[in-house]
Structure 1
Amino acid sequence: MKKIITNLSVSKAALVVGIAFISSVIIVTIVDDFLLANFVVPGDPQVLIQDIDQNRTVFHFAVLGYLVVLMLDAIIGIALYIVLKPANKKLAWLTATLRLLYAFTLVVALIALVFQSIDVYRYASLKLIGYIFFALHIFILGYSIIKSGYISKSLGILLIVASFTYTVFFVDFRLPESLQLIVMVTMLMAELSLSIWLIVKRNTLI
């Protein structure tokens, strides 16, 4: 792993970030819109437990899809370290570490849920911890981009705004659906814009 990180150029790492994120969006869309289309939206955790029990096979495929997405998140974290390291190694390390902590926390939570080591309530608590890591990651990523000098500052600002909207979301899950949609679209557009920019401009990076 250390050899791969050392040998991977900034331009190739930028391409990895872009492709991995776009791939994760596609997988999440398939899982949410097809595999989990018939699941009950969990307003009541007890209802969700019953729904999982009745759709165990579909649930396992959905978990597998999410695990692949989290693996891609880990890859994105490592690739972002390479992209940001020339500007500030410490910030790059912090950015990558927070994303890896997010991915690791959710992987542990998902596996524990599948093997029934934890219930839905404890899974929700672990998931919240993971989301805190993710929101911090997005904020530090935005700040690192602004300070980098070779990535568009507007992308950094958009990511910082997205981190605050995301924080509001997990602090109060009872937000109206319209506001929840705004939060999720802001997050998606922030990371998607960065991914596309990195793919297009990768050869102009340090």
Structure 2
Amino acid sequence: MKNVQQRAAIIAGVSLLLMAIAAGFSYGYVHNSLVITGDAGATFKNIQASLSLFELGILGWMIIIILDVLVSWAFYVVLKPVHKAYSLVAIWLRLLYTAILALAVSHLVIARQTILEGAQIPPSQVMTSILSFESIWSIGLIIFGLHLFFVGFVALKSSRIPKIISYLLVIAGSSYMLIHLLHTFFPQLEHTTNMLEMVLSLPMIAGELGFGIWLMVKGRKVTMTD
């Protein structure tokens, strides 16, 4: 059991780092470079001119989806000895988020297919697929935030996981839920939401990534207990 936990810790840590790189590429670079908010024509032209880059972005999302499933399993193996029931809830929440992310990414695939169909396709049709991706993913991130909150809650019950990591996970989860609840249900508060996202972006990143680094460096050397 100790060896399984240690392998799971390594898998979780490496997967989280790879996911951070893939997300930085697919969303931070590809999406933000090609998608111009409020300008369907420019977005259509950008994607059409850089279709290979857009396809690489989709590939990055598919890699993230696969790694998410791996992380779900690894988190459960690592955290189960601390609290089996709460760990199970956390992992099912992550799997639910992963399914929602897969649905969101399917709209990027639709956007790609739409562009391949030819110039007679109105740019607004591509933009509709892009906006569907963004809105569905945002709903998924509410679930993801709840997942992180449960992971942090379980981590707080362990004497082996540093409290700073546990609290960062709880803060990150709460931040994801707050930001994306506002994005989804209160679009009229866009300016306030963007300001909050800027303030909370560091703990949102540091929570899960910090846990991943700890799992890779320290977690693989210890056996989890309550």
Common fold: TM-score over 0.5: yes
Count of equivalent residues = 200
Alignment of 1:8-19 (within 5 A): 9-19=4-14
- Structure 2 residue runs of 5 or longer lacking an equivalent are 114-127, 184-189
In the TM superposition, what is the alpha-carbon distance from 1:53 to its structure 2 partner?
4.6
Structure 2: distance between partners of 1:68 and 1:95? 21
Partner of 2:162: 152
- What amino acid does structure 1 have at the position aligned with 2:74? A
- Do 1:155 and 1:194's aligned partners in 2 also have CA atoms closer than 8 Å? yes
Partner of 1:3: none
- Do 2:172 and 2:208's aligned partners in 1 also have CA atoms closer than 8 Å? no
Partner of 2:103: 108
In the TM superposition, what is the alpha-carbon distance from 1:63 to its structure 2 partner?
0.9
Q: Secondary structure at the match of 1:86?
A: coil
Partner of 2:121: none
Which of 111, 119, 136 lines up with 2:129 in the alignment? 119
Structure 1: distance between partners of 2:181 and 2:39? 18
Which of 15, 28, 31 lines up with 2:26 in the alignment? 31
Partner of 2:55: 60
Q: Does 1:46 align with 2:67?
A: no
Which structure has the bigger radius of gyration? 2
Identity rate of aligned residues, in percent?
A: 27
Structure 2: distance between partners of 1:73 and 1:45? 32
- Do 2:143 and 2:177's aligned partners in 1 also have CA atoms closer than 8 Å? no
Structure 1: distance between partners of 2:160 and 2:130? 43
Structure 2: distance between partners of 1:100 and 1:47? 35
- What amino acid does structure 1 have at the position aligned with 2:167? I
Alignment of 1:1-206 (within 5 A): 9-32=4-27, 34-36=29-31, 38-42=33-37, 44=38, 46=40, 50=44, 51-116=46-111, 119-173=129-183, 174-175=190-191, 179-201=196-218, 202-206=220-224
Structure 2: distance between partners of 1:8 and 1:105? 32
- Do 1:99 and 1:133's aligned partners in 2 also have CA atoms closer than 8 Å? yes
> How large is the RMSD of aligned CA atoms in angstroms?
2.7
| Pair 1:175–1:167, CA change in 2 (3 A) | farther
TM-score by length of 1: 0.83
Q: Deviations over 1:49-103 (max 9, x none)?
A: 5244554332221011111012112211110000011111111111111111111
Which structure 1 residue ranges, 4+ long, deviate > 6 Å from structure 2? none
- Do 2:107 and 2:130's aligned partners in 1 also have CA atoms closer than 8 Å? no
| Pair 1:8–1:181, CA change in 2 (3 A) | farther
TM-score by length of 2: 0.76
- What amino acid does structure 2 have at the position aligned with 1:158? L
Q: Deviations over 1:6-25 (max 9, x none)?
A: 89711111111111111111
- What amino acid does structure 1 have at the position aligned with 2:40? Q
Q: Deviations over 1:83-136 (max 9, x none)?
A: 011111111111111111111111122124313597334333321221111011
Deviates more, 1:24-33 or 1:67-76: 24-33
| Pair 1:35–1:127, CA change in 2 (3 A) | closer
